[in-house]
């Protein structure tokens, strides 16, 4: 995350905290989350190198309850995948102008890691009897490292950053006596690859199970 983004988020956090203290004179509710799930990436041809577009993710986050219905949320999610690249060989017929697939084979190694860092707002939507529904959205910063090695293909990139946005929907069950709230969350991450020289999108949809611990009630 850039220095300017960090400064902006810090200023916003200080502003909200100061408003709560000045108006209500009570501690700011703070909570932490952990989550584990799967991500279906939007990367084009990702399954050719890694077998599928889906892999496991895990991560954690922090939240600051600005009011009873709005919270500032920060979350980081880690995605890792390894595989064997699929190499395709084609032949071109100059007389007809057509391309024909000659062979397909898997060879070499491929490694992919990605951090998805989200910062935004989480808002109360609906009370579902024993559960509550929450919506979230904000900015996304994605850092990608990838290395492909094969006899006919070699590629490496490290620490490539891409900006975008995210939207999420969470269903949560609160246990006030334990200060714990297990939840299930569906989130879509969209990256704007046009901001930098990057091919395709580095986002995707992830479904996670997690738990929130509230430090203050």
DSSP letters spanning 82-98 = EE-PEEEEEEEETTTTE
Please give the mean pLDDT across all residues of the chain: 80
Q: What percentage of the chain has pLDDT greater than the value 90? A: 41
* pTM reported for the whole predicted model: 0.76
Per-residue pLDDT tens for 26-48?
445 899 999 999 999 988 788 88
Per-residue pLDDT at 14: 47
Sequence-ordered strand ranges (E) for 26-152:
30-41, 54-65, 70-83, 86-93, 98-106, 109-128, 131-150
Per-residue pLDDT at 194 exceeds 70? no
Residue 154 and residue 109 in contact, taking contact as beta carbons nearer than 8 Å: no
When pLDDT is cut at 50, 70 and 90, the band that residue 93 belongs to is low
Helix (H) or strand (E) holding 10: helix 3-24
- Rounded Cα distance between 212 and 75, Å, is 12
Domains of the chain: 3-214 (2.40.160.20)
Per-residue pLDDT at 205: 94
Residue 42 and residue 201 in contact, taking contact as beta carbons nearer than 8 Å: yes
Give mean pLDDT, residues 135-153. 87
Give mean pLDDT, residues 81-108. 70
Give mean pLDDT, residues 181-207. 78
């Amino acid at each position: 995350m850039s220095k300017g983004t960090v400064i902006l988020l810090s200023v916003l956090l200080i502003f909200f905290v100061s408003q709560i203290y000045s108006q209500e004179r009570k501690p700011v509710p703070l909570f932490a989350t952990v989550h584990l799930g799967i991500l279906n990436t939007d990367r084009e041809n990702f399954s050719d190198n890694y077998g599928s577009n889906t892999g496991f993710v895990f991560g954690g986050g922090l939240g600051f309850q600005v009011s009873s219905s709005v919270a500032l949320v920060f979350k980081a999610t880690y995605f890792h995948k390894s595989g064997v690249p699929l190499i395709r060989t084609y032949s071109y017929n100059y007389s007809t102008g057509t391309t024909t697939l000659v062979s397909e084979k898997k060879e070499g190694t491929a490694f992919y890691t990605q951090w998805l860092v989200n910062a935004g707002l989480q808002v109360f939507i609906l009370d579902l009897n024993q559960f509550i529904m929450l919506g979230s959205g904000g900015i996304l910063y994605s850092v990608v490292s990838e290395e492909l090695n094969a006899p006919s293909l070699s590629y490496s990139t490290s620490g490539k950053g891409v900006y975008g946005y995210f939207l999420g929907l969470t269903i949560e069950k609160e246990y006030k006596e334990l200060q714990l709230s297990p939840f299930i969350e569906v989130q879509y991450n969209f990256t704007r690859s046009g901001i930098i020289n990057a091919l395709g999108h580095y986002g995707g949809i992830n479904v996670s199970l997690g738990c929130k611990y509230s430090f203050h009630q």
